[in-house]
Amino acid sequence: MDWQPDWGLRARMALTMFMLFAVYLFFVAALTIGFGGGTSSLLLVATLLGAFSLVQFFFSDRLTLWSMGAKEASPQEYPELHAAVERLSQQADLPKPTVAVVDSKVPNAFATGRSPKNAAVAVTTGLLVTLDREELDGVLAHELAHVKNRDVAVMTIASFLSTIAFLIVRFGGQMMFYTGGGNRGGGKGAAGILVAILVSLLVWIISYILIRALSRYREFAADRGAAAITGQPAALASALLKISGEMEKVPSDDLREEAEMNAFFIIPIRSGIVGRLFSTHPSTDRRIEQLRTLEREMESF
């Protein structure tokens, strides 16, 4: 495998993470003021955010698999799948990840885990019956490239405070509604809640844009990584065409209910025009165009 460091990916990750860090510093400072200011307020905010961060970071693989209904698959149940993951992991110079399967008609796959030693790769039953061996290798290699690039850990960290901001906007608004605008708790309490909601909304919007920019580029990088692992970019291109075509045929109440997990999928679950506009993934056409370019480059050597 001719694996080259993707400096473009690293530069964009570093820039995006720096911008997110600046936004989140502002977020924490604003929340501290909203809680009344002072050392005790700062410690409260830091403790709460730190606790949630640790739980999400160290248990992200289990939480993601659980939320998607993925079950760990044994080599006896899926011998060919395990053999493929082990072979591709060796080619990518990675430890073999946990292999999981989601019982769903939607053909898709995702990777999760904070590091290569704590990673998991999951596929749906729909994917296994849709793709041939070479196409499945391409998809599995794409997910292993995410693991090698530590994309899951980076995206988990990057999206954490954005999720907290969204929850504050959502439940803070409900709190204002049920308390009559905060009149029962006094004007100061209402003002603090309102400030927290407005700041959280701003942080969520900015984070949303930055994280999606990062997410789209990491998909291009994972496609290039898959091509390096397998040496067959055309197989992944064929898989993407099959998956994107099949995705439109499945019932809308299947895996589409997990649309918030789009960043983890090889093909995003789309939901109308808005879903396409704010997709975590670049268009399938652009990804296939890149893979065809890689195919021509490989053939020229």
pLDDT digits (tens, 9 = 90+) for 245-284: 765 555 544 444 444 444 556 665 554 444 444 566 778 8
Domain ranges in the chain?
7-62+154-207, 69-151+214-300
What superfamily does domain 69-151+214-300 belong to in CATH?
A: Metalloproteases ("zincins"), catalytic domain (3.30.2010.10)
Quick count: other Cβ atoms within 10 Å of Cβ 100?
Answer: 22
Cβ atoms of residues 243 and 142 within 8 Å: no
**pLDDT tens digit string along 106-164?**
899 999 888 899 899 999 999 999 999 999 999 999 999 999 988 877 776 777 667 66
Per-residue pLDDT, 260: 44
pLDDT tens profile 56-66: 667 767 877 88
Mean pLDDT of 26-48: 61
Identify any residues that bridge with 141 across adjacent strands, giving them in sequence order: none
Q: What is the pTM of this model?
A: 0.72
- Which residues does the annotation mark as catalytic? 143
Model pLDDT for residues 151-199, shown as the tens digit of each residue: 877 776 777 667 667 666 666 555 555 555 555 445 555 666 677 677 7
